[in-house]
Amino acid sequence: MAYIECRNVTRTYAKGSTTITPLESLDLEIEEGSFTALMGPSGSGKTTLLNLIAGIDTPTSGSLVIGGEDIGNLSRSKLAHWRAENIGYIFQLYNLVPVLTAYENVELPLLLHDFSASERHDRVSAALNLTGIADRHDHFPRQLSGGQEQRVAIARAIVTDPRIVVADEPTGDLDRNSAAEILSLLQQINVELGRTLIMVTHDPKTTIYAQRILHLDKGKLLELESVPESGPVLHAEKPSRR
């Protein structure tokens, strides 16, 4: 059984007297530990699907089962708890708090959990080291380059040890070299940490880092495509979550 299962998922919104349907009757399975890229034109439903999987939104109809739990049936408080335990979210524009240092930005999600100060320190240090930004731990976002800010944002996304990491255009605001470094880092998180990674992208060049490409258009899944083995694939055993 797939780790993420969408069954006849539809999401609609009311805009005045008009009903907008970003996703319509979508069926999809995503395996645990995979790296999936979501592609499609603007308005195709990519971010809507990403937000449903991340538990930020819920389906209007259909079922969305993740790890055996239908998250569409959870109450708002239970969904928030599920999201904090299972999801790490990476944004295109980083969403760092400008008055906090890199260390403090990464520590923020841990404050929602029952960790001691020493446990928080260990987790933040490990995340900063993994993302290669530990030497900038005391810098504020304004003192960092775009690539460095995104590394901090990735460290923040993984510091709680989530099962799923979602990324919405994570390289959209970066130059080519910084983008390649960030994509390699995401692939490392997928392969070495074994996290399920789902990335929205407009750039076909970024998809070579993924294992599978999903094409969406007007709320419907058009095709599933595997990435050629000639892509920049890392090879490593995927460890258990803890």
CA–CA distances in Å: residue 124 to residues 3, 43, 82, 105, 130: 28, 36, 21, 9, 10
**Secondary structure of residue 34 in the 3-state scheme:** coil
**What is the model's pTM?**
0.89
Q: CA 200 to CA 50: how far, in whole Å?
A: 8
CATH of 32-55+75-226, one of 3.20.20.140, 3.40.50.300, 3.30.1490.20, 2.40.30.20: 3.40.50.300
pLDDT reported for residue 223: 66
Torsion angles phi and psi, residue 62, rounded to 5: 90, 180
Parse the chain into domains and list their residue ranges. 32-55+75-226
β-sheet bridge partners, residue 65: 5, 70
From first to last of its 242 residues, the chain has per-residue pLDDT tens of: 699 999 999 999 998 889 999 999 999 999 999 999 999 988 899 999 999 999 999 999 999 999 999 999 999 999 999 999 999 999 989 999 999 999 999 999 999 899 999 999 999 999 999 999 999 999 999 999 999 999 999 999 999 999 999 999 999 999 999 999 999 999 999 999 999 999 999 888 888 999 999 999 988 888 666 655 545 544 334 334 43
β-sheet bridge partners, residue 196: 164
pLDDT reported for residue 236: 39
Chain centre distance of CA 210: 13
Spatial contact of 228 and 204, defined as CB atoms under 8 Å apart: no
